[in-house]
Amino acid sequence: MMAKLGTLLFIIWIIVLGTTPFYAENHIVRVAITIAMFSTMAMSWNIIGGFAGYPSLATAAFVGVGSYVGAVSQINGVPMVAAWLLATLFVCILSAAVGALLLRLKGHYFAIGSIVLVELFRLIVSSWSSLTGGGNGLNVPILRWEPDEVAKLFLMVMLGLMVLAYIMNVLVKNHRLGFGLQCIRQNEDAADMVGVDTTKYKVIGFVLSTMLCGTVGAVYASWVGYIDPSESFQIVVTLKVPVMALLGGAGTVLGPVIGAATFIVLEELVWVNFLSWNRAILGVLIVILIFFLPHGILNIGLFSKLRRKAAAKSRKGDS
């Protein structure tokens, strides 16, 4: 029952975001696109970070690679949508290779290894200037439509990705894969012992958690029309995404959506007005989150009580 209610809320939220062009000004549409973008990333992170409990900080690395693959192929004449798919495929292959190596590490070592990927990919992209334009960045061919139409298109695409990410989360959660990943989070050695193929599960989880990040990167590049290494590979973004998931409640399907929306709305309302204090306010938010909301909004007393009640009811219904 709770899952149905969650899906209903999610659909309502998608409709609210999707209809912004009809009742709100351009700025709000932009915010809606950003919310969809970060919701997709936070839900993707949730697969490896929430279900499997691996502290991955590599989100920005794969978003950046996705945006560069998309931009370079568009510049070389690949049609826009094909470039997005190409970027997704490339990121999947890359993350399978990287994941197979990196996922042997645990805890602190995995965190360091994954955060280093962001810096490593940024350095490679900026030094490979014959292909990527180096520090000067790349101009991506933009759509020659009315600005309003362009915004509507990208809103729809980002919302589409967000829905895909949601479906992916629900499927993973109800599938053996999600069960396996949750076993890995609780005790990896024990999971291995009872026959969960931990290596395979982790790699699949990692690939799923980066796949849509690659797409988001490529779509973002087509939307803004210009990318450069320091903008595409940001350590701050790589940390914002897990913070969003934690804010909502990591390991739940709806948590990352709530977290991303709360975060972006707060960002728009509060710290856009204090431009030079942007980072500090984000830092204070993180400190508050860690000390006062360690399990996220979804797990605040009231909500978890509601959930427990619902669970108890459904148990009664079964027997």
Partner 1 sequence: MDFAQIIVNGLALGALYACLGVGFSLVWGVLNVINMLHGSFIVLGGYLAYFMWSYLGIHPLFALPLVGALMFALGYGLQYTLINKIVHAPVLTTLTLTFGLDMILYNLMTVYFSATPRRIRLDMGSFEFMGVFMPADRLVGVALAFLLTGLLFYVMRSSKIGRAIVAVRMDTVAAQLMGIRINNIYAITFGIGAMMAGLAGVIFVMVFPTTTSVAGVYLGKAFIVCVVGGLGSVPGALVGGLVLGIVESLSAHYFGPQNAPIVGFLLLLFLLLVKPTGLVGVKGYE
Nearer to partner 1, 7 or 234 (CB): 234
Residue 286 interacts with partner 1 (CB under 8 A): yes or no:
yes
Site for partner 1 in 104-143 (CB under 8 A): 104-105, 107-109, 111-113, 116, 119-120, 123-124, 126-127
Site for partner 1 in 146-205 (CB under 8 A): none
Site for partner 1 in 55-114 (CB under 8 A): 55, 57, 101-102, 104-105, 107-109, 111-113
Round to whole Å and give the CA distance between 91 and 93.
Answer: 5
Q: Which amino acid type is present at position 232? A: S
Please report, as a single letter, which amino acid is at residue 65: V
Residues forming a β-bridge with 226? 139
121 or 154: CB nearest partner 1: 121
State yes or no: residue 284 binds partner 1 (CB under 8 A).
yes
Q: Is 53 in the site for partner 1 (CB under 8 A)?
A: yes
Bridge partners of 139?
A: 226
Strand, coil or helix: what is 141?
A: coil
How distant, in Å, are the alpha carbons of 18, 174, 220, 257, 310 from that of 4?
21, 13, 31, 16, 12
- Residue 21 sits in the site that holds partner 1 (CB under 8 A): no
Q: What tokens were used for 186?
A: 């609780």
CB atoms within 10 A of CB 132: 21
Min CB(234)–partner 1 separation in Å = 10
- DSSP H helices, 249-300, are 255-269, 278-292
Within residues 208-267, the interface with partner 1 by CB under 8 A covers 235-236, 239, 242-243, 246
Q: How far is the CB of 205 from partner 1 (least distance, A)?
A: 16
CB of 290 to partner 1, least distance (A): 5
Minimum distance of partner 1 from residue 163's CB (angstroms): 27
Q: How far apart are CA 151 and CA 52, in angstroms?
A: 36
When asked if residue 305 is in the footprint of partner 1 (CB under 8 A), the reply is: no
What DSSP line would sit under 72-136, residue for residue?
HHHHTT--HHHHHHHHHHHHHHHHHHHHHHHTT--HHHHHHHHHHHHHHHHHHHHH-HHHH-GGG
Binding site for partner 1 (CB under 8 A): 49, 53, 55, 57, 101-102, 104-105, 107-109, 111-113, 116, 119-120, 123-124, 126-127, 235-236, 239, 242-243, 246, 276-280, 282-287, 289-291, 294
